[in-house]
């Protein structure tokens, strides 16, 4: 089968892309409007970009009518946003916040989602999320024009909140405890329960880990404190 994306309607290109590019992590993005109303919405066109400076991106596309989404309008106005990462337990709440509410209506209030104040930015974070990154706008890059075109939002990560419950004995995030979810095509999702390790060919083999009982917890590990090959 051959697919010519240069001759395809955008909505069909979308269907093929989201079915093929899987799984996608989910950024649950909170923002505030110019008059201080909170907004919360999920975005699975989402990735880390670099750690120097710590940067992530997510992509609010235009609506089918070609309008900007509330999240983008708020970031254009106020620059700051928070990316919370939903766990499996929060999947239904996260999905509810994809509803198109009138501009200014808060998904936190509409769906009874608890918020917690942020440290360095105005938008609150999702209180129950295992991880929440406080970000400030670096750059918005428009891609395309009109319906389903997009604006790539690059955000500088200022700080993060990590719930103690998702940390492992080594003081780093334990994926089993984080229980993150990923977006597949259509209405599909995946969990992160099946994992495997591969030693990197360009790095020394990992030393045998010490028994977990003798490993002292490291509550705030410095960047690079993971063993070589684990990144």
The answer to the question of residue 70 lying near ligand FMN (CB under 6 A) is yes
Backbone φ and ψ of 125, nearest 5°: -105, 170
Whose CA is closest to 181, among 49, 30, 28?
28
Answer for which of 39, 87, 93, 106 binds ligand FMN (CB under 6 A) is 39
The answer to the question of residue 84 lying near ligand FMN (CB under 6 A) is no
Stretch that binds ligand FMN, among 59-67, 137-145, 153-161, 199-207 (CB under 6 A): 59-67
Chain centroid offset of residue 5 CA: 27
Given a contact cutoff of 8 angstroms between Cβ atoms, the answer to whether 206 and 113 are in contact is no
Answer for which of 41, 57, 83, 132 binds ligand FMN (CB under 6 A) is 41
Whose CA is closest to 87, among 188, 166, 169?
166
DSSP 52-92: TTEEEEE--BPPTTSPPPHHHHHHHHH-EEEEEE-BGGGHH
Site map for ligand FMN, 90-129, x if CB under 6 A?
-----x--x-x-----------------------------
The answer to the question of residue 21 lying near ligand FMN (CB under 6 A) is no
Residues that bind ligand FMN (CB under 6 A): 26, 39, 41-45, 59-61, 69-71, 95, 98, 100, 183
């Amino acid at each position: 089968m051959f697919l010519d994306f240069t001759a395809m309607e955008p909505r069909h290109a979308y269907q093929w892309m989201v079915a093929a590019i899987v799984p996608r992590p989910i950024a649950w993005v909170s923002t505030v409007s110019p008059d201080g109303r909170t907004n919360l919405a999920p975005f699975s066109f989402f990735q880390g970009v670099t750690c120097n400076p710590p940067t992530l991106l997510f992509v609010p596309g235009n609506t089918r009518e070609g309008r900007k989404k509330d999240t983008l309008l708020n970031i254009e106005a106020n620059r700051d946003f928070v990316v919370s990462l939903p766990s499996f337990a929060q999947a239904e709440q996260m999905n509810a916040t994809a509803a198109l509410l009138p501009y200014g209506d808060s998904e936190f209030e509409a769906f009874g989602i608890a918020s917690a104040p942020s440290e360095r930015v105005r938008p609150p974070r999702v209180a129950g999320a295992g991880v929440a990154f406080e970000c400030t706008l670096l750059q918005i890059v428009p891609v395309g024009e009109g319906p389903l075109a997009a604006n790539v939002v690059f955000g500088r990560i200022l700080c993060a909140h990590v719930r103690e419950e998702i940390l492992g004995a080594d003081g780093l995030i334990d994926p089993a405890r984080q229980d993150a979810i990923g977006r597949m095509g259509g209405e599909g999702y995946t969990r992160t329960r099946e994992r495997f390790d591969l030693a990197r060919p360009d790095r020394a083999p990992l030393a045998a880990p010490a028994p977990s009982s003798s490993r002292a917890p490291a509550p705030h590990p410095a960047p690079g404190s993971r063993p070589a090959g684990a990144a």
